[in-house]
Amino acid sequence: MERVAETLTILQPEDKEAIDLPRTSEDELATGKKRLYIESYGCQMNFADSEIVAAVMRNAGFATTSSAEEADLIFLNTCAIRENAEQKVRNRLQHLNALKRRKPDLLVGMLGCMAERLKTKLLEEEKVVDIVAGPDAYRDIPKLVEEAESGQKAVNVFLSREETYADIAPIRLNSNGVTAFVSIMRGCDNMCSFCVVPFTRGRERSRDPHSIVREAEALLADGFKEVTLLGQNVDSYKWASEDSTESVNFAQLLERVALISPDLRVRFSTSHPKDITDEVLYTMARYDNICNYIHLPAQSGNSRVLKLMNRTYDRPWYIEKINSIRRILGEDCGISTDMISGFCTETEEEHQETLSLMEYVRYDYAYMFAYSERPGTLAAKKYTDDIPEDVKKRRLNEIIALQQQHSAERNRRHVGKVQRVLIEGTSKRSDDFLCGRNDQNKMVVFPKGDLQKGQYVNVLVTDCTAATLLGEVVG
Ligand code: SAH
Ligand code: SF4
Ligand code: F3S
């Protein structure tokens, strides 16, 4: 039987440029098949979606390659969250233009959120693009490719109320073989006023819990040791069987996945302050294999700004949630956030309240952004993007500087303590060191010894930076 090359090139969210993975021998074996190269931008959900797309395309007879130069078909799975996310993709298209001039039969497809946002406009603006497919159109991609092969431009940006791709087994060869993402829902119904996601990903829908558990079990059988359950707002996960005899909320789903095996770690992202319940926190406390870490984006520390953002909670409510986490899961529970600087009409005092909220919570980690107006969002329609760029930047820098201090301080808490670490692979800095995460999602680096990825080890933390814990294995 002919083997199919399955290597995917996936871009990590922080990276600025696509990284070409080294070519594998499988690449060479894929003779006779058309080759797909896929590159992902944006959030973890997009990365998970690329694995679905790879599976769909493999079923349609394509091989995947890790080299854009060798590909017959190139997909960019795009993000639209901020203007610079789209700019990055536009720049990449310039490079692909040059490639296509050398290889006129090459087809270029735009997938994901930017494709959904711009629809056919993309075809007008970017002549190099042949195919446009939104996040709910991935089953249709082989047909779109066929159309494009016959010389027509092909578009499907239909958003569905049901699609969850529950029956498609993603191709995971881009992963480290230890940790994997599992989508548990799609879309978002929240309508935060700054956010484009409800427009690019459509209505919220939850995936059948049985298919989620089956996927996690299959991952464990394949040697994976950690799953991250993904959704834009996991706390509003809600599924009911058609005859209404079975219903499952997020806490119950979390428990079902945790019960698969004590050896399978469970993480999840993203939690929403308006929806996270004590039931979720108590479930986390009950199971050692549910990691003690919550990503709970605040966006701002000021109640008036939160109202304008349509986040539907205020500062006291958010603080109450933090207090519940600390009460139920303890001071050591890892907490991270997203923060936006310079949202419409944000005053200096209101910005100070974001800093003071950070002082109160002392986050382990934060993703921090300057506000970027997105066309079509509520904020773009209702408010003026009136904070000058240099003020947004300065406020952002203050947020980043404070977070650096807190990250270092929170990391120092672990020094002198023994942490259970799941080894993910070799450290980027040196082949003589391994790295893996502790319960709180912090990266721990330690000497290699005879250990291998996929093992759990106890590491005594001896030192730290703001980003990493350093230590030695104690058994
Ligand atoms: N569903 C998640 C967030 C998804 S988007 C949640 O509700 O928390 C990831 C982050 O990007 C957001 O939390 C927000 O901080 C940021 N973001 C979204 N739209 C933005 C915009 N227009 N400008 C700047 N940052 C934005
Ligand atoms: Fe966007 Fe808000 Fe939905 Fe998160 S919860 S994806 S920020 S609309
Ligand atoms: Fe970007 Fe879409 Fe994710 S806009 S952040 S890829 S949901």
| Nearest alpha carbon to residue 107 among 57, 165, 152 | 152
Is 192 annotated in some ligand binding site? yes
User: In whole angstroms, what is the distance from residue 472 CA to residue 459 CA?
Assistant: 5
User: What type of residue is 167?
Assistant: D
Q: Are 209 and 248 in contact (CB under 8 A)?
A: yes
Residue of 45, 191, 196, 232 with the most ligand 2 atoms within 8 Å of its CB, for mutation: 232
10-residue mean pLDDT series, the chain (475 residues): 28 31 44 90 95 96 92 97 97 95 96 98 96 98 97 96 96 86 97 97 98 98 97 97 96 98 97 98 98 98 98 98 98 97 98 98 98 98 98 98 97 96 93 95 95 96 94 91
**Residues near 171 by beta carbon (within 8 Å), at least 6 away in sequence:** 6, 8, 51, 54, 55, 58, 64
The pLDDT assigned to 5 comes to 29
The pLDDT assigned to 351 comes to 98
User: In whole angstroms, what is the distance from residue 29 CA to residue 229 CA?
Assistant: 34
- Ligand 1 centroid–CA 163 distance in Å is 23
The pLDDT assigned to 475 comes to 72
Is 79 annotated in some ligand binding site? yes
> What DSSP string describes 348-401?
HHHHHHHHHHHHHH--SEEEEEE----TTSHHHHHS---S-HHHHHHHHHHHHH
The second-level CATH assignment, the architecture, of 418-474 is: Beta Barrel (2.40)
Is 435 annotated in some ligand binding site? no
Does any ligand 3 atom lie closer than 6 A to the CB of residue 46? Answer: yes
First vs last Cα of the chain: how many Å apart? 44
> What DSSP string describes 70-85?
G-SEEEEEE--SSHHH
Does any ligand 3 atom lie closer than 6 A to the CB of residue 112? Answer: yes
Q: Which atom of ligand 1 is nearest to the CA of 192?
A: 7
The pLDDT assigned to 31 comes to 63
The pLDDT assigned to 77 comes to 98
- Fold identical between 22-156 and 418-474? no
Task: Return the SS3 of 66.
Answer: coil
User: In whole angstroms, what is the distance from residue 317 CA to residue 389 CA?
Assistant: 30
The pLDDT assigned to 311 comes to 98
Structural domain spans, the chain: 22-156, 418-474
Range 22-156 classified under CATH 3.40.50.280? yes
Phi-psi region of 57 (alpha: psi -120 to 50; beta: other; left: phi over 0): alpha
Token duo for residue 239: 């599924």
- Supply angle C-alpha 307, 312, 318, rounded to 5: 95
The pLDDT assigned to 167 comes to 95
Is 195 annotated in some ligand binding site? yes
Taking the whole predicted model, whether its pTM rises above 0.85 is answered as: yes
User: In whole angstroms, what is the distance from residue 197 CA to residue 188 CA?
Assistant: 7
Q: Are 417 and 461 in contact (CB under 8 A)?
A: yes
The pLDDT assigned to 172 comes to 86
